Amino acid sequence: MHDTELVLLVVLAAVAACLVLALRLRVPYPIFLVVGGLAIGLIPGGPRVVLQPDLVLVVVLPPLLYAAAFFSSLQDLRANLRPISLLAVGLVLATTVTVALVARALMGFGWAEAFVLGAVVAPTDPVAATAIARRLRVPRRVVTILEGESLVNDATALVLYRVAIGAVVAGSFSALEGGGRFFAGAIGGVAIGLAIGWIVASLRRTIDHPPTEILVSLVTPYFAYLPAEALGASAVLAAVTTGIYLGWRSPELITPATRIQAFAFWESLVFVLNSMLFMLVGLQLPTVLDALGDISTGTLIGYAAAICGAVILTRIAWVFPLTYLPRALSRRLRERDPYPPWQLPAVISWAGMRGAVSLAAALAIPLHTDAGGSFPNRALIVFCAFAVILVTLVAQGLSLPMLIRRLGVESDGDDGALEEAQARLRAAEAAIERIDELASEGWVRDDSAERMRGAYEYRRRRFNARLDDGDDGALEDRSLAFQRLRREVLEAERAEIIRMRNRGLINDDIMRRVERDLDLEDARLEI
């Protein structure tokens, strides 16, 4: 077996083992992947994985940004625009500046590469923090703010990152010019994202073929990212804007059959990309350490501690004052959005784990400048970025559940259950109205209309009961009993078609067609 094949086998086996362990131990999978990759990377004679920098940022990042934007809630983002903006824009700027000052004073960096490091470690990762928050049922608004922050702060940090990278590569930096490029790039990225979103939406209206639509959705983030990159606009904002635009319009563009397949495809794709990136954190570390052989271990630990401390303390120092100070200064804000208990900003301030975006940005730092020299302090920047990812992801990620429990942070009951019941109730009422309208049509049989009307009447009573505080739960118990009975019958159907396949009466293709219908019917039993 060749070395490349052996490395690939080891990495895939390690990813699978870490994912299984994370699932069984109920620990967010990025933590196990980082630790597993680090363990493999530090084994003497272990695999050395070296990636082309541009490949990571151009190939991996666009689909991650697009998927996060597509599946985000535009209404929730609007409702929490102020706290999300303060974190996604204000905190990113504050973190970038603080880290740059520390790197300049302690590590002797030039301003441009110091700001590169600050921009790399500024954005948070949504996977670990929101996974923990959802599992422990913290208030819905906390989860929304963390998700919204991680979506928008990627764009802010990577726009800053591009400006700082350009300054290092070109060999000169002007604050005025950098600020101009920042705003021009942001505006250009949003404009390109909207344009690509409109074009793709127009194209997808004409397509009714799930594999083709999934392929179009896969290349869409690159359609937005690559032109923006070529034109000097914010490629990140272009991909995010396209994702938000198409996510909002998806109900009118995607057929039910395509939606089932496409959403499952994207969930798997994002999971695989994140898994591979987190594993690469550990695998890349030995290569980075080899490039820092002239710096003592104690000095490296000191640098890492200083940068990690700057990242963590800046977030804490930012979250608490910006949570309470605006309310203290604005009566209207206090009335509209009262003071939250201090435990909530404490959770948000400790949930600043770094991950895939910081890793991709660090690995994508160019190897050389325009003058032909090496990118100054590149290996040290990458090392510090890895240190921040490791410390925030492992230390904060493992301690966050304990912090949530110790502070007594509990769900506020706003998990969307009432909104879902209201939506399903209105949908059932609309169905009944349509059945009544169609009952006089010649092609509608009386018994068929009556049977369908009865099913929707039962559904309407069931969801009305969920909204009734005085309901004794009898209707819901009947529904659960029916679901159990129906699932037992569906299992009998599945067992029979498997027996037919095993005896050669039908082939696998026929079995899967019938099985898919049974699975869809099973999934609808919760409705």
**Alpha-carbon torsion (466, 470, 473, 475), positive or negative:** negative
Token look-up 């070529």 returns: 230
User: CA nearest 449: which of 464, 463, 431, 467?
Assistant: 431
What was the pLDDT predicted at 46? Answer: 61
Which pLDDT does position 200 carry in this prediction?
A: 94
Q: Is 42 helix (H, G, I), strand (E, B) or coil?
A: coil
Instruction: Report residue 119's pLDDT band, with 50, 70 and 90 as the boundaries.
Output: very high
Q: What is the per-residue pLDDT for 258? A: 83
Instruction: Write down the pLDDT at residue 272.
Output: 84
Query: Residue 235 above 80 pLDDT?
Result: yes
- Residue 368, strand partner residues: 374
The answer to whether 55 and 231 have CB atoms below 8 angstroms apart is no
Under the banding of pLDDT at 50, 70 and 90, the label for residue 225 is: very high
pLDDT of residue 477: 80
Rounded to whole angstroms, how far apart are CA atoms 265 and 379?
Answer: 36
**What does the mean pLDDT of the chain come to?**
83
pLDDT per position as a tens digit, 159-201: 888 888 888 887 666 666 666 777 787 888 899 999 999 999 9
Q: Closest Cα partner for 353 from 149, 164, 59, 156?
A: 149
- Alpha carbons 77 and 245: distance in angstroms, whole number: 13
Tokens of 290: 């080899």
C-alpha to C-alpha distances, 270 to 60, 67, 328, 394, nearest whole angstrom = 10, 7, 41, 21
Alpha-carbon distance values, 289 to 104, 182, 297 (Å): 21, 33, 10
**pLDDT for residue 101:** 95
The SS3 of residue 384 is helix
CA–CA separation, 180 and 166 (whole Å): 13
Tens digit of each residue's pLDDT (9 = 90 or more) over 348-397:
999 888 887 787 788 778 877 777 788 888 889 988 998 998 899 888 88
Cα distance from N-terminal residue to C-terminal residue, the chain: 52
Task: Choose among 55, 25, 47, 110: nearest CA to 364.
Answer: 55
CB-based contacts of 223, cutoff 8 Å, min separation 6: 196, 199, 200, 242
The residue with tokens 């309310």 is 327
Measured on CA atoms in the order 130, 402, 91, 233, is the torsion positive or negative?
Answer: negative
Q: Tell me, what's the pLDDT at 316?
A: 95
Phi-psi region of 72 (alpha: psi -120 to 50; beta: other; left: phi over 0): beta
Which pLDDT score, from 0 to 100, does residue 126 have? 66
Rounded Cα distance, 119 and 163, in Å: 10
The single-letter code of the amino acid at 110 is G
- 93: pLDDT strictly greater than 60: yes
User: Can you spell out the DSSP letters for 261-287?
Assistant: HHHHHHHHHHHHHHHHHHHHHHHHHHH
Whole-number Å distance between alpha carbons of 490 and 493: 5
Q: What is the pTM of this model?
A: 0.80
Rounded Cα distance between 119 and 96, Å, is 5
H or E stretch including 477? helix 474-502
The rounded Cα 359 to chain-centroid distance in angstroms is: 15
More confident residue, 20 or 256: 20
pLDDT band of residue 445 (cuts 50, 70, 90) is: confident
Residue 509 CA to residue 525 CA, distance in Å, equals 25
pLDDT for position 237: 85
Q: Are residues 197 and 242 in contact, defined by beta-carbon separation less than 8 angstroms?
A: yes
Banded model confidence at residue 53, pLDDT cuts 50, 70, 90? low
The pLDDT of residue 15: 81
Q: Locate 518 and state its tokens.
A: 């049974």
Position 216 confidence tier, pLDDT thresholds 50, 70, 90 = very high
d(CA 169, CA 300): 25
* Maximum average pLDDT range among 8-17, 325-334, 403-412: 325-334
Return the pLDDT at 256. Answer: 77
- When pLDDT is averaged across residues 17-37 and rounded to a whole number, the result is 80
Q: Which residues in 433-522 belong to E strands, given as ranges?
A: none
The stretches of 171-255 forming alpha helices (DSSP H) are: 175-204, 210-231, 235-253
**488-508 per-position pLDDT tens digit:** 888 888 888 888 888 888 887
- When pLDDT is averaged across residues 269-287 and rounded to a whole number, the result is 77
Residue with tokens 């919204």: 148
